[in-house]
């Protein structure tokens, strides 16, 4: 978040939690009688969970107590704050306690990877049945309705083109690269490889009419046009539209590519190929059928759709559907990940489209995120110079490590899915 008066956030590892109004909710530790009860419960559940995990947690102020089976270490400087936030807001509070420096770790990804590997059993099974009673529901303003989606997209993608330039490679591709077995390879080449495979799967070539749902900063459209295709690419981000148009023009393809501000539900026309890279995650589970019906509706006879999607296990998807998470609050409001099974079921029930090819490369996303986080952290002074503050630095670092942990643990996957119409 940008501030107009220097930095907000916290300073020191165990000092105050003072923040500016730029970060409402972080400036005050939860209190009151109800919080005291929920905090005590959170403390017991947290210690019981950690005692079963291969991590080490030092609780300062609790007689220097250390829990866990040994492994990546976490130091809790202010246990009362951590458990108050956990008790009131669950995993949102856990992430917020990191933002306020109530806890620290020397290797954030390693610690979060252990948690991600055990996410299904962190809470005892009998208590999981009470999940819907304690999880905070998604705010109405985060529903991905047609009149709200543009604002939800802007929350993330309109932050600053210059911010994304600092940690992405020169293709400005903000989705997983495909290293094809060589994770020591060049990120730029791996991003090109990912895009070219999608274009191959959709049979994009000279004269192909292409629709791209989710422009990004224009790299896929540029590469499709370089193959001789005509492209309509749609986005809801004003910042992305402006830079994508510039990059497309600079590449000499302005006459072959249209970049429109348009919701996928409003798209018209007929296309030989429909492509969409990591956009379904922003659709919302209530609208997955609408999304795939749109692909089916605009795809020409004999055409193919190729999408890249981040996926989660089906049972966890069902258990967390409708919940409100730290990622929703701070990074992607309205976002929710599908499962591979959910996509198969939705397309079978609502469209004539069927998945005919599938490439899974989740570990490649962990490597992509590692490189993004390294680049971001190495250039943190430049991030601050753009007007972002110290709390934003910690938030973005937590987001990248949190995401990387999901892929490193195998909890999350990313797949390229090719769909064709069933006759």
157 plus 130 within the same structural domain: no
Q: DSSP readout, 296-364?
A: HHHEEEEEEEEEEEEE--HHHHHHHTTB--HHHHHT-TT-----HHHHHHHHHHH-SEEEEEEEE-HHH
389 plus 279 within the same structural domain: yes
Domains of the chain: total: 2
**Boundary (domain end) residue, out of 106, 136, 166:** 136
Spell out the SS3 assignment of 180-209: CCCCCCCHHHHHHHHHHHHHHHCCCCCCCE
49 plus 188 within the same structural domain: no
Provide CB contacts within 8 A for 70, sequence distance 6+.
Answer: 54, 55, 56
175 plus 102 within the same structural domain: no
Residue 408 lies in a domain: yes
Residue 11 lies in a domain: no
109 plus 132 within the same structural domain: yes
Residue 315 lies in a domain: yes
Q: Is 263 helix (H, G, I), strand (E, B) or coil?
A: coil
CATH number of the CATH domain containing 155: 3.40.50.150
For CA atoms 25, 27, 28, 29, the dihedral sign is: positive
Residue 395 lies in a domain: yes
* Pair 362, 335: CB distance under 8 Å: no
220 plus 324 within the same structural domain: yes
**Boundary (domain end) residue, out of 97, 119, 136:** 136
113 plus 186 within the same structural domain: no
Query: What is d(CA 296, CA 420) in angstroms, rounded to the nearest whole number?
Result: 9
270 plus 162 within the same structural domain: yes
Q: Mind listing the pLDDT tens digit of every residue in the chain (423 residues)?
A: 444 333 333 333 333 333 444 787 798 898 888 889 999 999 999 999 999 999 999 999 867 899 999 999 999 999 999 999 999 999 999 999 999 999 999 999 999 999 999 987 776 555 555 444 445 555 555 555 555 555 555 656 668 899 999 999 999 999 999 999 999 999 999 999 999 999 999 999 999 999 999 999 999 999 999 999 999 999 999 999 999 999 999 999 999 999 999 999 999 999 999 999 999 999 999 999 999 999 999 999 999 999 999 999 999 999 888 888 999 999 988 789 999 999 999 999 999 999 999 999 999 999 999 999 999 999 999 999 999 999 999 999 999 999 999 999 999 999 999 999 986
**Boundary (domain end) residue, out of 110, 136, 162:** 136
180 plus 292 within the same structural domain: yes
Strand order in the sheet with 257-261: 257-261, 230-235, 209-213, 271-277, 299-311, 413-421, 353-360
358 plus 224 within the same structural domain: yes
328 plus 190 within the same structural domain: yes
Domain coverage including residue 103: 33-136
291 plus 403 within the same structural domain: yes
Residue 15 lies in a domain: no
Residue 9 lies in a domain: no
What is the CA 106 to chain-centroid distance, rounded? 23
Query: What is d(CA 274, CA 276) in angstroms, rounded to the nearest whole number?
Result: 7
């Amino acid at each position: 978040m940008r501030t107009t008066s220097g930095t907000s956030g916290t300073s020191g590892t165990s000092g105050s939690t003072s923040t500016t109004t730029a970060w409402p909710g972080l400036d005050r530790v939860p209190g009151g009688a109800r919080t005291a009860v929920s905090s005590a419960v959170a403390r017991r559940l947290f210690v019981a969970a950690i005692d079963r995990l291969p991590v080490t947690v030092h609780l300062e102020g609790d007689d220097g107590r250390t829990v866990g089976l040994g492994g990546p270490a976490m130091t809790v400087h202010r246990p009362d704050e951590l458990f108050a936030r956990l008790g009131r807001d669950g995993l949102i509070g856990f992430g917020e306690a990191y933002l306020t420096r109530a806890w620290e770790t020397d290797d954030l990804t390693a610690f979060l990877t252990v948690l991600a590997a055990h996410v299904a059993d962190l809470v005892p099974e009998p208590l999981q049945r009470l999940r819907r009673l304690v999880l905070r529901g998604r705010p109405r303003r985060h529903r991905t309705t047609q009149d709200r989606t543009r604002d939800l997209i802007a929350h993330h993608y309109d932050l600053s083109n210059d911010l994304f330039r600092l940690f992405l490679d020169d293709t400005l591709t903000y989705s997983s690269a495909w290293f094809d077995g060589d994770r020591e390879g060049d990120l730029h080449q791996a991003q090109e490889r990912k895009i070219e495979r999608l274009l191959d799967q959709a049979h994009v070539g000279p004269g192909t009419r292409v629709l791209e749902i989710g422009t990004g900063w224009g790299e896929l459209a540029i590469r499709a046009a370089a193959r001789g295709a005509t492209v309509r690419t749609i986005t809801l981000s004003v910042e992305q539209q402006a830079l994508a148009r510039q990059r497309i023009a600079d590449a000499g393809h302005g006459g072959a590519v249209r970049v429109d501000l348009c919701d996928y539900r409003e798209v018209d026309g007929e296309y030989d190929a429909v492509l969409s890279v990591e956009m379904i995650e922003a659709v919302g589970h209530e609208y997955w059928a609408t999304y795939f019906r749109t692909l089916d509706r605009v795809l020409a006879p004999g055409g193919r759709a190729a999408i890249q999607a981040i996926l989660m296990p089906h049972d966890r998807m069902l258990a967390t559907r409708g919940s409100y998470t730290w990622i929703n609050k701070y990074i992607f409001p309205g976002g929710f990940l599908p499962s591979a099974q959910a996509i198969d079921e939705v397309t079978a029930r609502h469209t004539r489209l069927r998945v005919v090819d599938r490439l899974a490369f989740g570990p490649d996303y962990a490597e992509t995120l590692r490189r993004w986080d390294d680049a971001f952290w190495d250039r943190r002074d430049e991030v601050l110079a753009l007007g972002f503050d110290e709390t934003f630095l910690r938030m973005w670092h937590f987001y990248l490590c949190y995401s990387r942990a999901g892929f490193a643990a195998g909890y999350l996957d990313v797949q390229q899915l090719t769909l064709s119409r069933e006759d």
